[in-house]
Amino acid sequence: MLRRLLLAGAILVALAGVYFSGVNTADTAASPPSIRGRNGTVLFLTTTANGLSNVHLATSYALLTNHPSLEVHYASFARLAPEVARISASARAKNPAAGSIQWHELRGLDYVDAAFRSWNSSDGLVSPPGQAGLDAMLNTLEYGVAPWHPEEHWELYQEVAKLIEEVDPAVIALDVCLRPAMDYRFNVDRRFVIISPNALSDIFSFHQPYAAALWKYPSLGSDLPFPIPWSKITTAIWERLRFVLWVVSNPRLLEVRAYLRDKGVQNPLDLAAGPSEEQPWLLMSFPEANAPLTRIPPGAVICGPMVLDLAPAEQQDPELVAWLKRAPTVLVNLGSAVKYTEQRASAMAASFAEVLEKTDVQILWKFRKSGEFDDGFLKPIDKYVESGRVRLENWLNVDPPSLLQTGDVVLSVHHGGANCFYETISAGIPHVILPLWLDLYNFATTAEYLGVGIWPGRDTAPEWHADTLAKGFLAALVGDESVSMRQKAKALGAVAATYGGRDRAAAEVARLAVQQ
């Protein structure tokens, strides 16, 4: 059995070597593109998913306020237009010299709408971590990587190409999940930059020496801790090799690639190409908030948290900020995609009851239902809701990072999304992470490794149980472990501030936009 496993592993390692041979490892100087574009002009091309586009929106805001002489364009789907308009208005309020972003609406099917044809809702993304959920995770990932049908992908590719030629920007800032635009960068000699919220270890594990991606770092969606125990190395290798095999053999990806190649597109759906001096990546992740890496490739620009907070919280929602001042607050914000099933809502409410009985905190709970069910789940905390000690909000009318920066939030409970993770890191606040899918599990593992957070219910994920949740919340709020977490979180927040965040990213984009 062991010999067969080793043989299979050797074959898959060879496949990995072939596929990831395109990973850029050479430290070469950048050469200027043959098509320079209009000097001082920037075009952002993104999806509408908040978890992906917020770093671009934050960077565009910093461009307007810090580099008002630049001409900034933004192209995405209709759903994002109001947010782009808000960015422009906020920038002008901060700096009267700032211009407005010129908006371009993409006509094709939005990434979110295309992917949800398969996922149906965010519940369709949910899968257990590790080997138990590997097949489900890869089925989900198939439509995350290639949500569009081949014909739709090609139409968006053409639309993107036409728009770039019309705007003629000096630099184009891309979202990794807008794959038609990512494909186009290999087919025209222009200046591109990728802005990504993803963790360094998720992006660059295959850049590490000694095939460390296979045995040192947990694979996407893994439940393995970091460092990986020796007893789990075989599991780690198997999970990673399953992912590699999927990348090189998935029928849907092969179909889309073949269709696009027939249309003359070079390197379609290239998931291996990393940053280079010619096409740098601006990254929200930074080494101190990540599993340690031996090598970060040339072209990777570490910016730190690019958070989207456009004004102090008291300016955005003074009434909510006044409520925050009443008591130390636990912010429960599971991002824009997560909705609560009745089971999860009941487990969460029951856990809150124990926390509220044993501490003096109050809870701000961003809550949206998945499906129809009555409010019976609130019974354990009815008295706290009535007294105002628990506050439920369907949506927050304030940028979450602004709330975290008030100093009134003592614990951030989130789902492990990149934005929530780095917003909490930036604020120097401990985490409780409740992941449900894909890389959310990896961020939960990282928080525990860094000593700044807890993943309660690792053994039962993605299912929640009230007693496990309550135990995790209390551990982060009271006792010796909570003191250590607060100290480490505060120290890490101070480190995050040294990188510059969205201002650093904007400065790099501005530099590329005015290069001669």
Whether 27 has a pLDDT exceeding 50, the answer reads: no
Position 119 confidence tier, pLDDT thresholds 50, 70, 90: confident
List pLDDT tens digits, range 106-117: 998 999 999 989
- What are the φ/ψ torsions at residue 283 (nearest 5 degrees)? -120, 135
Helices (H), 290-439: 313-316, 318-324, 342-358, 382-387, 400-404, 418-427
Mean pLDDT of 303-327: 97
List pLDDT tens digits, range 339-384: 999 999 999 999 999 999 999 999 999 999 999 999 999 999 999 9
Question: What is the chain's mean pLDDT, rounded?
Answer: 92
As a whole number of angstroms, the distance between CA 138 and CA 436 comes to 14
- What are the φ/ψ torsions at residue 104 (nearest 5 degrees)? -130, 120
User: What pLDDT is recorded for position 10?
Assistant: 37
| Cβ(159)–Cβ(75) below 8 Å | no
Whether 124 has a pLDDT exceeding 90, the answer reads: no
User: What pLDDT is recorded for position 516?
Assistant: 56
Position 403 confidence tier, pLDDT thresholds 50, 70, 90: very high
List pLDDT tens digits, range 279-296: 999 999 999 999 999 999
List pLDDT tens digits, range 128-155: 999 999 999 998 899 999 999 999 999 9
Q: Which of 496, 505, 495 is nearest to 301 (CA)?
A: 505
The single residue listed with the structure tokens 């995609």 is 337
Q: What are the chain's domains?
A: 35-123+146-210+226-232+262-304+500-513 (3.40.50.2000), 313-497 (3.40.50.2000)
Residues 6+ apart with CB under 8 A from 231: none
| Cβ(197)–Cβ(54) below 8 Å | yes
Position 30 confidence tier, pLDDT thresholds 50, 70, 90: low
As a whole number of angstroms, the distance between CA 446 and CA 376 comes to 35
As a whole number of angstroms, the distance between CA 277 and CA 246 comes to 29
The single residue listed with the structure tokens 């998913």 is 49
- What are the φ/ψ torsions at residue 451 (nearest 5 degrees)? 80, 20
The enclosing H or E element of 364 equals: strand 362-366
List pLDDT tens digits, range 167-188: 999 999 999 999 999 999 999 9
List pLDDT tens digits, range 235-282: 999 999 999 999 999 999 999 999 999 999 999 999 988 999 999 999
As a whole number of angstroms, the distance between CA 291 and CA 438 comes to 17
DSSP 132-150: GGHHHHHHHHHHHH--S-H
As a whole number of angstroms, the distance between CA 168 and CA 247 comes to 34
Query: Tokens for 79?
Result: 């759903």
| Cβ(97)–Cβ(115) below 8 Å | no
User: Exposed/middle/buried for 273, CB within 10 Å: 0-12, 13-18, 19+?
Assistant: middle
- What are the φ/ψ torsions at residue 40 (nearest 5 degrees)? 80, 15
List pLDDT tens digits, range 31-89: 678 789 999 999 999 999 999 999 999 999 999 999 999 999 999 999 999 999 999 99
Whether 20 has a pLDDT exceeding 70, the answer reads: no
